[in-house]
Amino acid sequence: MRVYIEDTDAGGIVYYVNYLKFMERARTEWLRTFGYQHYTLADENFLFVVQSANVRYVTPARIDDQLDVQVVLKKLGRASFQFEQRVLRGTELLCEADVRVGCIRGDTFRPAPMPVTLYQKISQEISA
């Protein structure tokens, strides 16, 4: 992922909240590897929402840096995921976070088990 001017603040470094955007994009791509997209899940009345994010900033990224945003699933529940995410520039750690994401129904905004087929695909992947 490349850092663009829109990602930076007046000091020329990545604005702190944009790391969360980078992590969201990486989780979205991770979900795609299982054949799912947010819009198709929303069509089925399922939404994924961030419940918590504990972020530690180490050193700043700057305009035009090429970043690698890692996603590691730490825990899978029927209605939630717990991720460890890291943002790196080469091998240098810039930011890391523990992120908990919950599945909710789009009509009630109440917790709900994720679609069975998605849960099964992810379970098989982490068991392999």
- Element containing residue 80 per DSSP (H, E): strand 80-89
Nearest to 101 by CA among 88, 115, 111, 87: 111
User: For residue range 32-69, what is the model confidence (pLDDT) as tens digits?
Assistant: 999 998 898 999 999 999 999 999 999 999 999 999 99
Cα–Cα distance for residue pair 76/80, rounded to 1 Å: 6
Average pLDDT over residues 67-86: 97
* CATH T-level fold of 5-127: Thiol Ester Dehydrase; Chain A (3.10.129)
Residue type, 32: R
Confirm whether 98 is a catalytic residue. no
Name the active-site residue from 7, 9, 43, 107. Answer: 9
Average pLDDT over residues 9-24: 96
User: For residue range 105-124, what is the model confidence (pLDDT) as tens digits?
Assistant: 999 999 999 999 999 999 98
Question: Domain boundaries in the chain?
Answer: 5-127
